[in-house]
Amino acid sequence: MTRIAIAGAAGRMGRILTVACDEADDMTLTLALERAQNPSLGNDSGILAGIEPNGVLISDTLDAQQFDVLIDFTHPQVTSAHVDFCIEHDKKMVIGTTGCDAVLEQKLRHAGDSIALVYAPNMSIGVNLCLQLLKTAAAVLGDSVDIEIIEAHHRHKVDAPSGTALKMGRVIAETLGRNLDDCAVYGRQGQTGARDRNTIGFETIRAGDIVGEHTVLFADEGERIEITHKASSRMTFARGAIRATRWLGPQNKGLFSMQDVLALK
């Protein structure tokens, strides 16, 4: 039985992860973590998640003796501190935190020299299948099309574009032999001139309670191809995280992605 710690357990994603962990017959939640002064400290994490009481109270103390794998869908600064802790105590991690910058991503790569981690800005199985489709589309269409990435999320999301949209852009850029940092265009306003075909455009929508929607548009004159993924429930990300946790079991060290988990590489 794998012992699970969930970071941000009182948040929207943390509560869904608690439910997903409860559904898994080979895992048990043993630590529900929140920041100090969170009003939910001391409450039963099962009750907070809308399921039966599980006896795991929300805590602000990360205790290495209580878990095997830490699932973290929090914030980059928090995740960075958790990586340090897990390296020190030889614990595995599944990370779905978005908004991670290049410094943190480099830290995760170095962490893979010591511990086993799965890191993905989107744990959805469907999204990761879409990444494979995007590689194929980009390879076939090459530089003959205009490429735009449109993403929409709920009003509370703090980073833009989403980590998933950026991952899609990187996959396409790498397939085309481009550097996304050089060819990305984030929104347009005013007299922008004719579109440069070598750019990859990003458009961001933040509204209401949209869980997550991504569309990549490959547009030529006379036809276009759209590859779209729409999530209607955060449970799709939570179940992906549980699948990643299960896959991580026999791994001793290394930084992995959902492409590894799903055997898509």
For residue 65 the two structure tokens come to 């003796």
**Which amino acid belongs to residue 61?**
T
In the set 153, 167, 214, 229, the catalytic residue is 153
How is residue 196 annotated by DSSP?
Answer: P
Which stretches does DSSP call E strand in 63-195? 69-72, 92-95, 116-119, 146-153, 184-186
For residue 55 the two structure tokens come to 């006896």
Specify whether the CB–CB gap between 169 and 217 falls below 8 A.
no
Tell me phi and psi for residue 8, to 5 degrees: 65, 40
d(CA 202, CA 167): 12
In the set 75, 89, 154, 157, the catalytic residue is 157
d(CA 186, CA 246): 37
Based on the residue annotation, tell me whether 157 is a catalytic residue of this protein.
yes
Question: Comparing C-alpha atoms, which of 109, 110, 118, 127 is closest to residue 73?
Answer: 118
Which residues have a catalytic role annotated?
153, 157
